[in-house]
Amino acid sequence: MKALSIIAFVLSMLSSAAFAQEVAGETPTATEDSVEVVITPKKGQDSTIVKVAGMKIIVLNDNKNISEVIIDEEVDGENAGSKDDDDDDSDDKVSHWAGIRLGVNGYVTSAGTPEIPSVVSFLELDYAKSVSWDLNLLEKDFRLYKNNVELVTGLGLHFANYAFKSKVTTLNNTDPLTAYTDSNKVLEKNKLKVTYLTAPLMIGFSTNQDEDKAFRLAVGGQVSWRIGSRLKQRYSNQGETYKPKIKSDYDLNPLLIHATASVGYGPVNIYANYGLNNLFEKNKTIDLTPFDVGVQFMF
């Protein structure tokens, strides 16, 4: 009864406001159909809801017979864009691509081994210094099944460093690729640095929409377009330190295609990329297939 009294009081106030609008020359928008009364019992509490002209009036009564009145405006279109829809959008936070990667890069011969033939020994790598890193800036996901299976694409940058074991050989900017030896110049640094623009196309699977609790897997392919390459060296001579940087394509393939996979839990992934074509252009040197493996910290 107390709730109904409060409702009657609020309705009378609204009616007065509507009458004032008529006097002022405004047409009230409320109609008889716009009034709806719903009584919803709750555990330990009764709530009476009255909808009037786009306004929602809620009267709450607890066991102590204390009432509370809440007046709220409803969203047009009967709660258009429901909370469930909002939750779906806000919960879709699992990343498969976007993040920062740190790993090791290298290459294998056509026989599938990292052992380099003696005729091109200048290409033998020091894997302790052959470090790669990626900055995967953009990710776009297309939902395939609920929130658990997605088609993943994006855009990123891959920075590969091929550090050579030889301390006395330097790559020649020739076609085909060769190198020369200068035993009087001992190289403290001798590496080929290549920068790629990368884009993946993968199928991503996740078990939870909360990234901190999600186990995820992604498999597919990646295209890498070479946008820069240079030989970086450092050596000392008669107390002076020299750091030459020689820009060239060094017969590198302008476009690489990789098979790619990643698996992880929470904010960390383990990833691997394996080339489907050669690092260098065909017939320019021996066939070498690039790869890189490492760890990824998700955005």
pLDDT higher than 90, residue 117: yes
224-243 pLDDT tens trace: 999 999 999 999 988 899 99
Radius of gyration of the chain (CA): 33
For the chain, the first-to-last Cα distance in angstroms comes to: 55
pLDDT of residue 27: 47
Q: Are residues 227 and 261 in the same domain?
A: yes
pLDDT above 90 for 26: no
* Helix ranges, 166-252 (H): none
Residues 55 and 107 in one domain: no
Does residue 156 lie within any of the structural domains? yes
278 vs 83, residue with greater confidence: 278
Residues 57, 122 within the same domain:
no
Does 86 reside within a domain?
A: no
pLDDT band, residue 183 (cuts 50/70/90)? confident
Per-residue pLDDT averaged across 12-31, rounded?
50
Among 31, 56, 79, residue at a domain's last position = 79
Nearest to 227 by CA among 199, 206, 267, 263: 199
Q: Is the pLDDT of residue 207 over 90?
A: yes
Give me the number of domains the chain comprises. 2
- 224 and 258 housed in the same domain: yes
For β-strands 255-265 and 288-298, DSSP reports them as unpaired
* Residue 28 covered by a domain: yes
Q: How big is the chain, counted in residues? A: 299
Same structural domain, 112 and 60: no
Residue 123 located in a structural domain:
yes
Give the up-direction half-sphere exposure of residue 13: CA atoms within 13 A in the CB hemisphere. 9
What distances in angstroms separate CA 7 from CA 11, 64, 66, 188, 194, one per listed residue?
Answer: 6, 19, 14, 85, 73
Domain that holds residue 233: 91-298
Last residue of a domain, one of 79, 105, 140: 79
Q: What is the DSSP letter of 28?
A: P
Q: State yes or no: pLDDT of 70 exceeds 70.
A: no
Give yes or no: residues 200 and 254 share one domain.
yes
Instruction: Say if residue 98 is in the same domain as residue 207.
Output: yes
In a domain, 84, yes or no: no
Average pLDDT, the chain: 81
Residues 18, 131 share a domain: no
Q: Is residue 85 part of a domain?
A: no
pLDDT band at 112 (very low <50, low <70, confident <90, very high): very high
How far is 171 from 121, CA to CA, in rounded Å? 11
User: For residue 121, is it within any domain?
Assistant: yes
Are 126 and 190 a contacting pair, CB within 8 Å? no
What is the C-alpha separation between 78 and 36, in angstroms, rounded? 13
